[in-house]
Chains A and B, each alone.
Chain A
């Protein structure tokens, strides 16, 4: 059974940093691209970032480019999102998602999310 468990969320002041983690199990982690998708309170879904299986291909939404860094550790079956210079607009539930296949930003399994609140 595929499981994705996010952690690392919390309350942080604007301008500060936070690092999210996603622990994956139930599939061969290093065979798949991985992604972060967020959902602001009461709002829709927004793709944040993606990383290919070998970390060669990395992409970010314009809204986070230059502030967020995605990475993965295939030996630990883990995905990360380093979030710097956080803004109030970054407040959201952050989901880790597994890619269905290839480098497509198509998400077949999602974690339950970790909440990030940016507020002074």
Chain B
């Protein structure tokens, strides 16, 4: 079983700042099979990034993904008010999700 650990649990930032969210796998994973989802309260998750670095349809270019092996990162270059949400990483080779990072307004 692959365990995905996201950090930090909560990230407090202001609009316009840069956000860096981390996802660490308990063992090396095929990096092409890492995705990131955004979930706002009361809404279904939304696919942001897949294959570690490919933006999904209609996702703004301020969202970017990177990483390989056991360490993956979601970066939001300049936070917009609508970006404050919970973010999950997902290894879709094993079907496991991370526990989520809550991005909140400072």
Which residues in A have some Cβ–Cβ distance to B below 8 Å? 37, 44-47, 50, 61, 95, 100, 104-113
Q: Looking at chain B, what size class is its interface with the partner chain?
A: 20 to 34
Q: Does the CB pair A61–B95 fall under 8 Å?
A: yes
Of the candidates B39, B47, B56, B95, the one whose C-beta lies within 8 Å of that of A47 is: B95
Known: A95-B44, A111-B44, A113-B44. A105 touches B97 (CB 8 A): no
Q: How long is the Cα–Cα vector from A45 to B46 in the complex, in angstroms?
A: 12
Residues of chain B in range 88-106 having any CB-CB distance to chain A below 8 Å = 88, 90, 92, 95-100
Q: How many A-B residue pairs have CB under 8 A?
A: 48
Q: Does the CB pair B44–A47 fall under 8 Å?
A: no
- Return the CB mask of B22-56 against A: 1 if under 8 Å, else 0: 00000000000101010100011111001000001
Which of B43, B46, B47, B57 has the most A CB atoms < 10 Å from its CB?
Answer: B47
